[in-house]
């Protein structure tokens, strides 16, 4: 199974290349993000898609019937499909779509609640509310636009939505159910109601997001979408498509423990499962794009789990978190990060963890601090760990013809 | 007892009320040496406690290193009390 196309939109701009170069060069899309309708806003930064980029996404889609989350999903899918060179005959029943989303049509929900409650119902509710808000809208719009008539799925497992969607897509291809799958995640949650809800969780930083660093105080939210064309090797070769990477392994587990606190064993089992699935040895892994949210709990837990899984290899392989660049895009997070992981494999460069101050003695390692670093390896890994105890790990391997 | 000390005692008492209410624990069990884990205070309870603190004193406390290191009710109260006093001082000079 291979990847033949990628696409993205994020705070770093439109396009997979914009996301990758920002991550590699340490250019952050995080900036001051104020919501005038909030009476009180404590956290002042996020990684939003720019207004201009939203305009571009909306101008080529169907905003009367879509929340902007579906618009950005389509922009990213279009880029991936173009790169893979898929034509009309490549869709139909032998193609699937599997798109994760966390909050669905957040902007539509937020605006319409505001009309109902704050404005006393004086303005009428958008009659397209339900189809705009439903979490599976991005998957369905992609299916409609390209005529994808096979299975369509929307996995909504918070921060693991996209990684699980990609994993499921890969399984559909591997099982022979379909020849290819458009898979990824989309999230457009930077609206007053969702932002205030995240503030109330007290896991966002009012400093800078500094994954794995001493003095880290939390995460930063972001919007974005990233999509992949997953395909059987046979189909990719038959079409003569350029193969970007081999999809090598998928693992997913549940902690079955605490709703919010991550679990070392659950995270380790997820990574081991991805390695076992791809018959990979820990020694083959050169780079891990960590979940690395910048919260105390995740970064400690993930470090312990990585040490459990990789043992002696831990000290040699490169590990970083790119969340301070593109923000934590929840339902799209795993897709943005897998894309960066793929480009890292292609260029053999590990993107840095920016905003890093110093080693946290409790973690005892440097996560490629502040500046990218080259590596030499054929396999890379990306992790996502979600509230609800949902863990997912994806492994990619350099393709050799 | 100075006014400042009186304030601190008051804050401490109100904090214990919040921990009892949000953690759904009998207020009588909340002595300084009580271990938070033994009281079955879990991740979700922390979020509720932090929100109640924010509503009462207007101080936003992220779940940082210090907070995760609090083992006992006493640790938690001391830490939060410090942050509230710090926040009040900042507000006074702002």
Q: What is the ipTM of this complex?
A: 0.78
Residue A63 forms part of a structural domain: yes
Same domain, A30 and A125: yes
CB proximity B51 to A under 8 Å: yes
What pLDDT shows up at residue A396?
A: 98
Helix (H/G/I), strand (E/B), else coil: B37: coil
Residues A211 and A254 in one domain: no
Contact B43/A at CB under 8 A: yes
Chain B CB contacts of A43 under 8 Å are 60
Tell if the CB–CB gap between A201 and B60 is shorter than 8 Å. Answer: no
Looking at the structure, do residues A314 and A231 belong to the same domain, yes or no? no
- CA nearest to B61 within chain A: A202
pLDDT in tens, B34-91: 998 888 887 888 889 999 999 999 888 888 778 888 899 999 999 999 888 888 888 8
Residues 6+ apart with CB under 8 A from A165: A98, A99, A100, A153, A154, A155, A183, A184, A185, A334, A335
Whether residue A154 lies in the annotated active site: no
> Are B54 and B48 contacting, i.e. CB atoms less than 8 angstroms apart?
no
Which H or E element spans position A373? Answer: strand A373-374
Q: Is residue A297 part of a domain?
A: yes
Whether B61 sits inside 8 A of A202 (CB atoms) is: yes
Residue ranges in chain A modelled with pLDDT below 50: none
Chain A contact present for B62, CB below 8 A? yes
Contact B65 A204 (CB under 8 A): no
A277 catalytic, yes or no?
A: no
Residue A328 domain flag: yes
DSSP string, A71-90: HHHHHHHHHHHHHHT--GGG
Query: Of the listed A12, A95, A181, A291, which one is catalytic?
Result: A291
Among A205, A239, A273, give the residue marking a domain's end.
Answer: A239
Instruction: Read off the pTM.
Output: 0.94
Residue A244 in any domain: the answer is: no
Comparing alpha-carbon positions, the chain A residue that sits nearest to B47 is A201
In a domain, A295, yes or no: yes
Decide if domain B3-85 falls under CATH 1.10.1200.10: yes
CA-nearest of A364, A375, A210, A359 to A288 is A375
Question: Are A285 and A377 part of one and the same domain?
Answer: yes
- Residue A301 and residue A388 share a domain: yes
Choosing from A188, A214, A239, the residue where a domain stops is: A239
Q: How far is B76 from chain A (nearest CA, A)?
A: 16
User: Domain containing A155 — which CATH number?
Assistant: 3.40.47.10
pLDDT at B2: 62
Number of domains in chain A: 2
Task: Looking at the structure, tell me whether residues A194 and A96 fall in a common domain.
Answer: yes
A291 carries an active-site annotation: yes
Question: In Å, how far are B53, B65, B77 from B34, measured between CA atoms?
Answer: 20, 20, 12
| Shortest CA gap B54–chain A (Å) | 9
Q: How far apart are CA A331 and CA A341, in angstroms?
A: 17
Which residue from A222, A192, A219 is spatially nearest to A203, judged by alpha carbons?
A219
Indicate whether A110 and A17 sit together in one domain. Answer: yes
- Is residue A396 within 8 Å of A248, Cβ to Cβ? yes
Closest residue on chain A to B51 (Cα): A200
Residue where a domain stops, chosen among A200, A220, A239: A239
Structural domain spans, chain B: 3-85
Whole-number pLDDT of residue B3: 65
In a mutational test of the A interface, the residue from B49, B61, B63 whose CB has the highest number of chain A CBs within 10 Å is B63
- Whether A233 and A256 map to the same domain: the answer is no
pLDDT value for B41:
83
CB contact under 8 A, B42 and A258: yes
pLDDT given for residue A140 in this prediction = 98
Q: Please give the Cα distance from A142 to B65 (Å, whole number).
A: 43
Question: Is residue B1 over pLDDT 70?
Answer: no
CA distance B8 to B14: 10
What residues make up the domain containing A73? 2-239
CB-closest option in A202, A205, A259 to B50? A202
């Amino acid at each position: 199974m291979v990847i033949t196309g990628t696409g993205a939109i994020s705070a770093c701009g439109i396009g997979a290349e914009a996301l990758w170069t920002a991550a590699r060069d340490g250019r952050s899309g995080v900036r001051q993000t104020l919501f005038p309708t909030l009476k009180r806003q404590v956290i002042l930064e996020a990684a939003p898609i720019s207004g201009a980029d939203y305009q571009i996404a909306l101008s080529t889609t169907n905003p009367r019937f879509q929340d902007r989350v579906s618009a950005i999903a389509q922009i990213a899918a279009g880029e991936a499909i173009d790169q893979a060179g898929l034509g009309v005959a490549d869709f139909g029943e032998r193609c699937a779509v599997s798109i994760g989303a966390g909050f669905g049509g957040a902007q539509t929900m937020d605006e319409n609640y505001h009309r109902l409650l704050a404005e006393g119902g004086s303005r009428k509710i958008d009659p397209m509310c339900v189809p705009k808000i439903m979490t599976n809208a991005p998957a369905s719009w992609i299916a409609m636009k390209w005529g994808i008539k096979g299975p369509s799925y929307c996995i909504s497992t918070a921060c693991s939505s996209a990684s699980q969607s990609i994993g499921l897509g890969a399984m559909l291809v591997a099982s022979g159910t379909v020849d290819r799958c458009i898979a990824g995640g989309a999230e457009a949650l930077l609206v007053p109601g969702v932002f205030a809800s995240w503030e109330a969780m007290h896991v966002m930083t009012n400093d800078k997001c500094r994954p794995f660093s001493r003095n880290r105080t939390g995460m930063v939210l972001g919007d974005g979408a990233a999509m992949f064309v997953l395909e059987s090797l046979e189909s990719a070769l038959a079409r003569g498509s350029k193969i970007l990477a081999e999809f090598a392994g998928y693992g997913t587990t549940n902690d079955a423990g605490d709703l919010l606190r991550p679990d070392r064993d659950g995270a380790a089992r997820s990574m081991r499962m991805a390695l076992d699935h791809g018959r990979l040895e820990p020694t083959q892994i050169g780079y891990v794009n960590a979940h690395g949210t910048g919260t105390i709990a995740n970064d400690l837990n993930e470090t312990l789990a990585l040490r459990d899984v990789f043992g002696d290899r831990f000290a040699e392989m490169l590990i970083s978190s790119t969340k301070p660049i593109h923000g934590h895009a929840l339902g799209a997070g795993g897709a943005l990060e897998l894309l960066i992981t793929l480009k890292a494999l292609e260029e053999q460069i590990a993107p840095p963890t920016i905003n890093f101050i110093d080693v946290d003695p409790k973690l005892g390692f440097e996560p490629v601090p502040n500046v990218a670093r080259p590596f030499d390896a054929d396999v890379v890994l990306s992790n996502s760990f979600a509230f609800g105890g949902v863990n997912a790990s994806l492994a990619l391997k350099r393709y050799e013809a | 007892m100075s006014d400042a000390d009186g304030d601190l005692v008051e804050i401490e008492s109100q904090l214990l009320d919040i921990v009892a209410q949000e953690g759904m624990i009998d207020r009588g069990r909340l002595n300084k040496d009580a271990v938070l884990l033994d009281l079955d205070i879990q991740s979700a309870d922390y979020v509720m406690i932090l929100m109640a603190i924010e509503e009462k004193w207007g101080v936003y406390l992220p779940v940082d290193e210090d907070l995760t290191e609090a083992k006992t009710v006493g640790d938690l109260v001391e830490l939060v009390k410090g942050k509230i006093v710090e926040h009040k001082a900042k507000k006074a000079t702002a």
